[in-house]
Structure 1
Amino acid sequence: MNADTSMTVIKLDQISKRYGSKEALSHATLEVPAGTVFAVLGENGAGKTTMIRILTGYLKPDSGTATVLGMNCEQQSLEIRRRIGYVSDSPALYEWMKPEEIGWFTSAFYGPGFPEAYLSLLAEFDVPTGIKIKSLSKGQRAKVALALATAHDPELLILDEPTSGLDPMVRRHFLESMVKRAASGRTVLLSSHQISEVERVADWVAIVHAGKVKIVQRLEDLKSSTCIVTATLDHSDAAYPLPPGNVLTEASNARQIRWVVMNLDDQAMDGFRNQPCFAHVVVTSPTLEDIFVAVCDHRATRPRSYHDESRTQEVAS
């Protein structure tokens, strides 16, 4: 990758936003490096769309500051929107227009070369021309929105649940497009609750839960620093210690105990394995879904070493 990933494209600093009594974002802080696919992962209602609306200047935060491409999101929102691309889960398109007509209409907002680049993208995405947008399938309309958002080659592309409800082939088009843009030095911010898609394309992951940014880390580092420890007790009522590390969750089934652990102390594991209460101890690698559930599931059992508030941002890089 040729991009200088030391550059920050997006910065949120202690952003908070309420809708009445509901806290949509609480002191959210993160930085998005250039030339990466940066995924914001969270369940529906976690605060992802509120974050994007603040970044694009459509929503004013109650407190904190946000910048995109070095510009203040409140004071320079028009310039930000001119320089980025944005695709939502339900793109607003003039359905009485044809795909080529909406490209001509949109080109008035951008510089020379937009119409040609847009038509080239339509051909690449196999979008038919000559028919009205209202006659296109949902996947074809999504491709039109993606072509409109990227024909001016934006420095930053923001995707808010872009593949929701799309068929597998269209989703693949979107995912391939994200990777290609990052490889060319551009930056993609992907907001999603589709964990498998995030795991396929993301360089960085921020996990958001109930308006709070819980984790910001390179995906590769996050997975390598987290493990699943499974122990079989010598007998079902035996007392046992916790694994040496930051234990996120604990689950038990008869004699078997399962922990999701961050930053496991490998040197201390020999002593842990040799505890007389354990008949067997196994350490395995987690999926991103395992980590996400451990961080976000309010039904998960939190062991005595886990303190939710102190974990916010503690693994941020």
Structure 2
Amino acid sequence: MSQQDHDRNEVIVATDLEMRFPRCDVLNGLDMHVRSGSVFALLGENGAGKTTMIRILTGFLKPTSGNVRVCGLNPIDDALEIRRRIGYVSDAPALYDWMTVAEIGWFTASFYPKGFVETYQALISDYEIPEHRKMKVLSKGQRAKVALSLALAHDPELLILDEPTSGLDPLVRRQFLESMVDRASAGRTVFLSSHQISEVERVADTVAIMHEGKFRLCGELADLKDSISEVTINLDDPLVSIPSLPRPAEVLSEETEGRQRRMIVKGFSPEICNEIVARNGVNGVRDRAASLEELFVACTRGIAALRSEPSPEQSLAAEVVEPS
């Protein structure tokens, strides 16, 4: 991998990335490409490997194997330079409680070029946070705004957000989301790690769904919504066996309930629909576009998890097919 990766307008490039700990494989052969000027959202349950990925991108962890480039640099060899060129906000930012809002800006400015303090002060003013107030008396939402202001004051090429809106009130969360869209529209890149599906759906250009250290789905959000459907097949007899769907259709998850077979299918088409309808024992097929929440559940727990309180009979009937 070379500087050409960065020249192709890709801020992050990861190839065959693996991270193993004793008795635990966290990342299993991930490939990732994040283009400049986009909002890339990494969705996954707690423990899926999202934070481990971020620690690798920022140079705090060395992967077991694979290659990574961030802003055209190697996170292991060029960790300090990468940290100068990116901004980072976590769900619980570490801020010195004894400092005032102004003091923490002056302190952080020593790591960055001239102009940091002025930009930081402008951001703090926009967020209406008093500069004289000490960090220890700020609310969680105010601390999050300070952390975001510190991360943005040097106008980073890449902004990395790790569950940044966790526990924040709706107004602050909305401000965070708006700032992500503004960054992308200005040609900068946002890498967002979250399990808040509604937030991701509002701001993301590209979505990757991570489960057990692998990407189950990764692509442009609009393309994923267009290419993945919820398909319901009505049967004459619940014991009728439906053969596997023909290629290029890929079943991400499925369940059977009585005379209905429900599937989340990638690559479903009218031709495939007609082929299923023509099979013996099938008396109808319905399909509709799947929501991002349905895609997430299908990739992590199966379609049966969408049901709030499944009966024992429904639980026994549910059959989850892991994606290839």
TM-score (structure 1 length as normaliser): 0.91
Q: Structure 1 residues 8-17 or 237-246, which shifts more?
A: 237-246
CA distance in 1, matches of 2:240, 2:19: 47
1:270 aligns with 2:274: yes
Q: Paired residue for 1:127, among 129, 136, 157?
A: 129
Other-structure match for 1:17: 19
Q: Secondary structure at the match of 1:72?
A: coil
Q: Secondary structure at the match of 2:110?
A: helix
Other-structure match for 1:256: 260
Other-structure match for 2:290: 286
How far residue 299 of structure 1 moved from its aligned partner, in angstroms, is: 8.5
CA distance in 1, matches of 2:193, 2:147: 16
How far residue 243 of structure 1 moved from its aligned partner, in angstroms, is: 4.2
Counterparts of residues 158-169 of structure 1 (less than 5 Å):
158-169=160-171
Q: Paired residue for 1:182, among 161, 166, 184?
A: 184
The answer to whether the 8 Å contact 2:263/2:303 transfers is: no
CA distance in 1, matches of 2:256, 2:322: 20
Any gaps of 5 or more consecutive residues in structure 2?
1-5, 305-317
Deviations along 1:64-118, whole A, 9 cap, x unmatched? 1111000001000000000100001110001111111111111111111111111
The answer to whether the 8 Å contact 2:234/2:282 transfers is: yes
Other-structure match for 2:43: 41
Q: Secondary structure at the match of 1:58?
A: coil
- Paired AA for residue 114 in structure 2: P
The answer to whether the 8 Å contact 1:6/1:34 transfers is: no
Quickly say closer, same or farther: Cα 1:197–1:5, change in 2 above 3 A.
farther
CA distance in 1, matches of 2:28, 2:252: 21
CA distance in 2, matches of 1:272, 1:236: 16
Other-structure match for 1:138: 140
Q: Paired residue for 2:203, among 201, 204, 223?
A: 201
How far residue 5 of structure 1 moved from its aligned partner, in angstroms, is: 10
Any gaps of 5 or more consecutive residues in structure 1?
312-317
How many correspondences in the alignment? 304
What is the aligned-residue identity percentage?
Answer: 52
Q: Secondary structure at the match of 2:69?
A: strand
Q: Paired residue for 2:73, among 71, 74, 78?
A: 71
Q: Secondary structure at the match of 2:114?
A: coil
Counterparts of residues 78-97 of structure 1 (less than 5 Å):
78-97=80-99
1:237 aligns with 2:235: no
Quickly say closer, same or farther: Cα 1:56–1:69, change in 2 above 3 A.
same
Q: Paired residue for 2:301, among 297, 302, 307?
A: 297
Q: Secondary structure at the match of 1:35?
A: coil
